[in-house]
Structure 1
Amino acid sequence: MCGIVGVVGRGEAAPLLLEALRRLEYRGYDSAGIATLVDGRIERRRAEGKLGNLAATLERDPLPGTTGIGHTRWATHGAPTERNAHPHSTRRVSVVHNGIIENHAELRAEMEAEGAEFETETDTETFVRLVDRHLARGQAPEEAFAAALKRVHGAFALAAVFAGHPRTLMAARQGAPLAVGYGEGEMFVGSDALALAPLTRRIAYLEEGDWAVVTDDGARFHDAQGRPVERAVRVTALTGAVTGKGNYRHFMEKELHEHPAVLGDTLRQYLDPKTLEVRLPRLPFDPARLPRLTISACGSAFLAGLVGRYWIEGLARLPVDADVASELRYRDPPLAEGGGAILVSQSGETADTMAALQLLRAGGQRVLAVVNVPESSMARESDGALLTVAGPEIGVASTKAFTAQLAVLACLAIGFGRARRELSTLDEGRLTQALLEVPGNAAAILERDAEIRELAAEVAKARDVLFLGRGPLYPIALEGALKLKEISYIHAEGYAAGEMKHGPIALVDSDVPVVALCPSGPLFEKTMSNLQEAAARGGRIMAFTDAEGAPALRRFAERVVELPHACAFAAPILHAIPVQLLAYHVAVLKGTDVDQPRNLAKSVTVE
């Protein structure tokens, strides 16, 4: 999940590399480093911890040179120390790496038997030593790099510079994204287009197995067999504008308050407010003919997919399997002939979801991606893509991207229902109207911020928290628990409310807050009954409901937060907002790093 960047420039490379790394820090912030060529020699600066530490190091000890590489790390092999920080170098070559070299132990043992001395615990150093061994035998950098690539297995993106070659860097990808950026008399490489956006908007993507030689006047691409190939240069829609926090304390707080605008922008793509119809673009499959649908994703995106399963099965009567992508690829399920799949991802680069994509396509499924980044690997490699319009999400814990994913899946569910003749025009209009009201209701929920902050003061005292929901609100209970764990480090679990009596109720006592998602509607009475069982055992019930449900809940709940009344169909989108707000305020009260919680990275590009 590391981020890598490279520059063959006209001016000093270090400032450009540092700025690009700031835009990649969402990928990891355990350590960071930069290497440049200075009078033909490799020089580097590295620092443990966040990028600010590297910036301070460079301020004390500047690094000249117009060609260089940079890295921000999420540790896999080896502790997050300065010694293990990238770039890893010998006097001949320096390398940055995102991913995992799976056969590193075998290669390391081979080279140590030949007398090589390793300085770090990382798998990356294995590649560095391989390249260096070929250089020591007299091979040119291009030959040495290509020869080393043939020996390594795994998922990786690599960039390297070579002593004595000040206008050249090399790059390769296998299972991890990498882009080449074209400037005027200068060239760039980066983990994604976002990192390169301030430098150039002209981008070419390395395809699976590609490696490239990048100089100041262009790039030469080779495929996995070493054959010269062409890769199209396209203009990215991303801009170099810096995403700031404005008047908010954290990016997450800012992004929480962007829910109404993001939901409005996303829904506007797919809903016609005049006719109250869903307008979907051409899909890679015909929903009316699908025998079965598979939804797969990771993290919060998977929870959005779980809600989508409830919606699609309920409205379209289409059987849906929902799998965590990291399990789907190893479960290797039988796939229906002529079936379809929906993959959900904010970044469009998640390694396990990409592997699921390949499995599904190999199994004859037509794949639709729901992504936030149109230039992402997932968007490019799927049979079709629907975009969320969440904009850059800097906070590691997903917020607005999650509700935007729900909005797209809700539109798909209505569209599928109409295509399969399970919904009437009247039903479509009613549900579309409910979605059109979501942005306004989201804004009204944000006005309850002070009330939710008071609730957070109670939750912050707990060691364990339970979140409960029924039906499509069950995945939102899972989302609430996930957010609380991610950013406050409080242990939390989400459960289907009806499952309480099958085990989790044993955890309930006066020290355990039970956060309930309990709007009025067809499941209200049953959910309330489950909550009363918990309250009878000393559980501290803290409920999100609406004006209709509030009086009954106040008879036994410690706290009740009233949300705007909404159609049951839209309730999952709206209830996601207060549980995210709750997690945010708890984290602030506990003093954790809200935007960059420990051990996490936003884009998980390794298994």
Structure 2
Amino acid sequence: MCGIVGIVGKNHAEQVIINGLHRLEYRGYDSAGLFVSDGKQEHLIKSQGRIKNLQEKITSEVNGTIGIGHTRWATHGKPSEENAHPHTSQDGKLELVHNGVIENFEELAEEYLANETFYGQTDTEIVVNLIASFIKNEGLTTKEAFQKALTVIRGSYAFALINNEEPDTIYVAKNKSPLLIGLGSDFNVIASDALAVLDQTHEFVEIADNELVTVTADKVTIENQDGEIIDRDSYQAQLDASDIEKGTYPFYMLKEIDEQPTVMRKLTQEYRDEYGNVNIDNQLVNEVAASDRIYIIACGTSYNAGWAAKSLIESVTQIPVEVQLSSEFGYNMPLLSKKPFFIFLTQSGETADSRQVLVQTNQLGFPSLTITNVAGSTLSREAKYTLLLHAGPEIAVASTKAYTAQIAMLAILTQAVGKLKNSEASLSFDAFHELSIIATGMEAMVDEKDYLSDLVKQYLSTTRNAFYIGRGNDYFVASEAALKLKEISYVQAEGFAAGELKHGTIALIEEGTPVLGIITEEKTGPHTRGNLKEVESRGANTIVIATEDLARPGDQVILPKVHPLLTSLVAVIPTQLIAYYASMQRGYDVDKPRNLAKSVTVE
């Protein structure tokens, strides 16, 4: 959610910021703005809607050597130019951009700013004026006032602050929200995501929570809350600007769907040693094997991936698995087992709901693993272990390749744990062999684009409602399939356990309602077919997605046969493409669905 880009020490700062904001569009936003200065003149420009609206307002007179920019996803106050960032203090001296949510902004306004009049409804406007009041009323320097504000603020934040009277410095701080410093030659940058500034630098410095950073063109100074200077090594981002280009694809989502077979092979390459064994930290494998219960903590698509992997993990390792929603688990923690092991699934590694659970489990002393696509992300740094997905940047808001990569990564880890425990099921399970077969099967499915596009035109072109049904793992795929359809095409879609239809849900079936049944399990397939017949008799239009060994004449989508506990990896592919074409045929922006953000960095 939201994005920050800043730079100090380079001409045409406005262009660097605009380019960076474009690269952060995937995070989701409803307004944008920037501030730049050359030390003599300042320019503040804000716009509602897309970044192109902001770009159109930038004239040739707008240039500078220092600046900050922001894309906003509304949390306090409606989307508008008044509420867009950067926010200016009422004395006109300070400019502030902010990601996150300030929980006590109303109390701060009452205690420190009772006589002030505000122009918008944001918590950020309160913060910039709070800092200004400390400078004016207490004679503090900008850094001192900023530091004092940080001690009274409660909530999540990533801040970038400029004082117009110090046109060579950006002050930065974060808590729970992501922010990085990028190191250049005679300039430095800041960004919510390294992707935003890869055209400027590949060298970055991480910022920890509750630190204050002073950034100038030739120096980066990190201090803790006590004012002690912290030395921290930089790292090289293992990404290239070309990784985030669409190439010939009309949308990132289609590109990322097509990349999934490559991701399967990449994971095999990264985690298989020269002898064909799993190459994962032995200590991690030992701790998972020694646990009496695995808790998978996740949100959204990652939550669905956890469910899709649950049966495989339990079958091969003989360890019970619970899959929990981060937003619920953190505030309603159940009675835990004696030796739990926590696995956090997160594409971005910055998911706020998951992080608040990780903070609690760390305090309780439980071991944890983050499985993420982003090296150096917050959940990666704070968990005891990390396994990277190596899926490449995922730009489209609707996650596709991260979902399949998470399941595949869990399969590889499962093989290592099962082998250590010498379970009977592990003797016949070779994750690398199965992922090779799956990669080939995925390629066959992504080649069915034209057929699936026609299928969508026939069944989903005008519908307002649709249902996916299945049993066992097929039910979990149905949940993910419905999520994809609803989030980018705005069709009211739901995934149901097929056997539950008669317990109430069948009342929603009307003439012409699309119902898509997923059948990959031999033991439950006949029952799901019976449920499809039940909805057909009530007027539903049905689509059957079945594996080739279970398919019958008339089934519309035939899946290649793969390991029975990994069918979700191929079954999900046509549902991703169905969602894609349903959105595209309606004329929507597939990559940037309304009201959604890629990285949910607030609870």
TM-score in same-fold range (> 0.5): yes
Question: How is 1:406-445 mapped onto 2 (pairs within 5 angstroms)?
Answer: 406-423=407-424, 426-429=427-430, 432-445=432-445
Which residue of structure 1 lines up, in the alignment, with residue 86 of structure 2?
Answer: 87
Question: How is 1:38-117 mapped onto 2 (pairs within 5 angstroms)?
Answer: 38-40=38-40, 42-58=42-58, 60=59, 62-90=61-89, 91-113=92-114, 115-117=115-117
Look up the SS of the partner of 1:100 in the other structure.
coil
- CA distance 1:548–1:375, change in 2 (3 Å): same
Which residue of structure 2 lines up, in the alignment, with residue 26 of structure 1?
Answer: 26
Cα deviation, residue 425, structure 1: 6.1
Query: Aligned partners of 2:496 and 2:421: how far apart in 1?
Result: 32
Which residue of structure 2 lines up, in the alignment, with residue 576 of structure 1?
Answer: 572
Query: Aligned partners of 2:98 and 2:369: how far apart in 1?
Result: 30
Which residue of structure 2 lines up, in the alignment, with residue 341 of structure 1?
Answer: 342
Which residue of structure 2 lines up, in the alignment, with residue 168 of structure 1?
Answer: 169
- CA distance 1:235–1:248, change in 2 (3 Å): closer
- CA distance 1:180–1:276, change in 2 (3 Å): closer
Cα-Cα RMSD: 1.9
- Whichever residue aligns with residue 412 of structure 1, its letter is L
Cα deviation, residue 85, structure 1: 0.7
Cα deviation, residue 320, structure 1: 1.1
Matched, 1:186 2:182: no
Runs of 4+ in 1 over 6 A off after TM superposition: none
User: Greater shift after overlay, 286-295 or 481-490?
Assistant: 286-295
Asked whether the equivalents of residues 477 and 517 of structure 1 are also in contact (C-alpha less than 8 Å), the reply is: yes
- CA distance 1:187–1:279, change in 2 (3 Å): closer
User: Greater shift after overlay, 217-226 or 379-388?
Assistant: 217-226
Asked whether the equivalents of residues 315 and 425 of structure 2 are also in contact (C-alpha less than 8 Å), the reply is: no
Query: Aligned partners of 1:301 and 1:62: how far apart in 2?
Result: 46
- CA distance 1:503–1:262, change in 2 (3 Å): same
Asked whether the equivalents of residues 544 and 561 of structure 1 are also in contact (C-alpha less than 8 Å), the reply is: yes
Query: Aligned partners of 1:171 and 1:287: how far apart in 2?
Result: 38
- Whichever residue aligns with residue 280 of structure 2, its letter is L
Asked whether the equivalents of residues 27 and 73 of structure 1 are also in contact (C-alpha less than 8 Å), the reply is: no
User: Greater shift after overlay, 78-87 or 416-425?
Assistant: 416-425
Look up the SS of the partner of 1:500 in the other structure.
helix
Cα deviation, residue 86, structure 1: 0.3
User: Greater shift after overlay, 307-316 or 147-156?
Assistant: 307-316
Asked whether the equivalents of residues 5 and 191 of structure 1 are also in contact (C-alpha less than 8 Å), the reply is: yes
- CA distance 1:385–1:197, change in 2 (3 Å): same
User: Greater shift after overlay, 401-410 or 34-43?
Assistant: 34-43
The TM-score normalised by the length of structure 1 is 0.95
Look up the SS of the partner of 1:147 in the other structure.
helix
Q: Which one of 589, 593, 602 corresponds to residue 598 of structure 2?
A: 602
Which residue of structure 2 lines up, in the alignment, with residue 239 of structure 1?
Answer: 240
- Whichever residue aligns with residue 588 of structure 1, its letter is M
Cα deviation, residue 277, structure 1: 4.6
- Whichever residue aligns with residue 515 of structure 1, its letter is L
The TM-score normalised by the length of structure 2 is 0.95
Which residue of structure 2 lines up, in the alignment, with residue 123 of structure 1?
Answer: 123
- CA distance 1:564–1:403, change in 2 (3 Å): same
In the TM superposition, what whole-angstrom CA distance separates every residue of 1:421-457 from its partner, at most 9, and x where no partner exists?
Answer: 223564124x543222011110001122122112211
Which residue of structure 1 lines up, in the alignment, with residue 150 of structure 2?
Answer: 149
- Whichever residue aligns with residue 64 of structure 1, its letter is N
Cα deviation, residue 520, structure 1: 5.3
Which residue of structure 1 lines up, in the alignment, with residue 448 of structure 2?
Answer: 448
Cα deviation, residue 522, structure 1: 2.8
Cα deviation, residue 575, structure 1: 0.8
Asked whether the equivalents of residues 9 and 185 of structure 1 are also in contact (C-alpha less than 8 Å), the reply is: yes
Give 5+ residue unaligned stretches, structure 2. Answer: none
Matched, 1:229 2:203: no
Asked whether the equivalents of residues 550 and 560 of structure 1 are also in contact (C-alpha less than 8 Å), the reply is: no
Query: Aligned partners of 1:260 and 1:183: how far apart in 2?
Result: 36
Query: Aligned partners of 1:62 and 1:394: how far apart in 2?
Result: 33
- Whichever residue aligns with residue 308 of structure 2, its letter is V
Look up the SS of the partner of 1:170 in the other structure.
strand
Look up the SS of the partner of 1:286 in the other structure.
helix
- CA distance 1:268–1:606, change in 2 (3 Å): same
Asked whether the equivalents of residues 257 and 573 of structure 2 are also in contact (C-alpha less than 8 Å), the reply is: yes
Cα deviation, residue 288, structure 1: 2.7
% of aligned pairs identical?
A: 37
